[in-house]
Amino acid sequence: MDHVRLTGKRISLDTQILIDCVLSLPSLEALLSDSDLKLHKTLVPVYVLSEAKGVLINKYNLDESEAKREIEKVIRNLKAVVIRSDETDKTGAKYLLKLHSDVEGFHEEDALIIACLKRSRVNICYCRDKTASEVMKKEGIEARRLPTIDRILDKKLQQLYRR
């Protein structure tokens, strides 16, 4: 039986990481291989789920039920808890947008997600978006990068050819 030893740290992921995990088993495996996920509680804001669902439908042509089902599968595999929305997230997002108005490309969706992460006391977030990562760092959230799908597959191919 798998036992998770929860510590005070909380981990999350941004929209692009969730999309990668839906579209690519190697991406999900790469995320699951991080030992921190076994040690810490994983939380995913409902805003990330909503944004990911929209991208999967509009950009990758999944139908709504398929997008929802695939996202739920990833959340189950990660043993993640969904962070529900809260009215304070909108207030927090407005504050963050004003505070970080000097950060080019920082927009409302990212501000809403970061406000939710802060409210939920998330310490670590897997994120590939440079702008969001910059703001997360300024707000005391460690932004970790996960390689792109292409990079993960390249690495797997290199390992196969070395055998």
Residue with tokens 């797997």: 156
CA distances to 93, 116, 117, 146, 155 from 88, rounded to whole Å, are 8, 8, 12, 29, 42
pLDDT of residue 148: 78
Residue with tokens 């409302």: 108
Residue with tokens 């990481």: 17
- For the chain, the residue count is 163
Q: Which residues contact 60 (CB under 8 A, 6 or more apart)?
A: 19, 23
pLDDT of residue 65: 98
Helical H runs in 13-146?
A: 15-23, 25-32, 35-39, 46-58, 64-78, 87-99, 108-119, 130-138
Q: Domains of the chain: which residue ranges?
A: 23-162
pLDDT of residue 140: 97
pLDDT of residue 4: 45
pLDDT of residue 158: 81
pLDDT of residue 100: 97
pLDDT of residue 36: 83
- β-strand pairing of 41-45 with 124-126: unpaired
The CA distance from 63 to 85, in Å, is 24
pTM: 0.88
Q: Which residues of the chain have pLDDT under 70?
A: 1-7, 163
Which CATH homologous superfamily contains domain 23-162?
5'-nuclease (3.40.50.1010)
The CA distance from 102 to 37, in Å, is 33
Amino acid present at 118: K
